Amino acid sequence: MEQHLICLDLDGTLLNSKQEITPLTKKVIEILQAQGHKFIISTGRPYRASQIYYNALNLDTPIVNFNGAFVHHPCDMNFETFHETLDLDVSRDIFAKIPHLNIKNIVAEIKDRVFLHYHDEYLFEGFSMGNPIIKIGDLLDSIQEPPTTILIQAEEKEIPNIYKHFDEIYADHLEHRRWGAPFPVIEIVKKGINKAVGVKLCHEYLNIKQENVIAFGDEDNDNEMIRYAGTGVAMGNAIDELKTIANHVTDTNNEDGIAKYLIQYFNLEV
């Protein structure tokens, strides 16, 4: 079989509800790696919060972070790092509208620096993985350079109004996507940026055909990646929209969905 590239979202996909890679999934990945197939992580998380899983799987490939806004290769310094940021003026305009959109909290990230508008113990703990520099306070004062991403926390009932506002005012400047558990937030990145952009960079760098790309995901930030892959696979716990566009639906992230699909696809004996 020709070499394949398997793209793995983290939360709700590779990781179970305990934020762990199950033993069966790890074993299947190791078998396929030994056969010459390649794996990448493609996530909304920053690198610092995904490095532990990159190392656990002994990866030697590029990694897609911030939903495609940042792609680099931890093992190859000759890989040309890809980093697309938001427009600073647009970002500051969003910060100024926090009180008017009933936004609960907002987080801006610039590579490994995290800026929280309001102190929130849950968000603080979640975004402190990897020991970034964290600053808390009015983002209009603290952000002086273009952020890689903006994350908005709001009550579920406020989400449609926030989406509507962004689509009306900022449609030419940004993309917005939902994260699932454990951090249900709206992530904002530069217009035209998504996971498929990062996956394309990776499979071309690895000289693997697009038709031999398999992608697994569960949320709407996996939409473009699932469509782009030669084979897009939605998890059993995925949102209905993703299941509709995917080529296949596997079991949930708590039922070894990735491992079961790959065992069948590659006809493995485990």
Render pLDDT for 12-63 as a digit per residue (tens, 0 to 9): 999 999 999 999 999 999 999 999 999 999 998 899 999 999 999 999 999 9
Contacts of 168 (CB under 8 A, 6+ apart): none
Q: Is a pLDDT exceeding 90 seen at residue 69? A: yes
Q: What is the mean pLDDT of residues 121-126?
A: 68
How are beta strands 213-217 and 5-8 bridged, if at all? parallel
* Identified catalytic residue from 9, 11, 218, 256: 9
- Give the distance from CA 243 to its chain's centroid: 18
The encoded tokens of residue 138 equal 């009015």
For the chain, the maximum distance between any two Cα atoms, rounded to a whole number of angstroms, is 57
Q: What is the pLDDT of residue 100?
A: 79
The encoded tokens of residue 165 equal 């506002």
**Which DSSP helix (H) or strand (E) runs through 33?**
helix 23-34
9 tagged catalytic: yes
125: left (phi over 0), alpha (psi -120 to 50) or beta: alpha
The encoded tokens of residue 213 equal 């790309």
| Residue with tokens 């299947």, as numbered in its chain | 28
Which residue type sits at 82? F
**Which DSSP helix (H) or strand (E) runs through 163?**
helix 159-169
Q: Quote the pTM value.
A: 0.92
Q: Is a pLDDT exceeding 90 seen at residue 176? A: no
pLDDT > 90: percent of the chain: 71
Rounded CA gap, 66 and 216, in Å? Answer: 17
The encoded tokens of residue 71 equal 């792609």
Going by pLDDT thresholds of 50, 70 and 90, the confidence category of residue 119 is confident
Cβ(111)–Cβ(73) under 8 Å? no
Going by pLDDT thresholds of 50, 70 and 90, the confidence category of residue 184 is low
Q: What is the mean pLDDT of residues 97-120?
A: 85
Surface-to-core class of residue 103, CB atoms within 10 Å of its CB (0-12 exposed, 13-18 middle, 19+ buried): buried
Cβ(242)–Cβ(226) under 8 Å? yes
Neighbours of 131 (CB within 10 A): 8
Q: Is a pLDDT exceeding 80 seen at residue 115? A: yes
Q: What is the pLDDT of residue 128?
A: 75
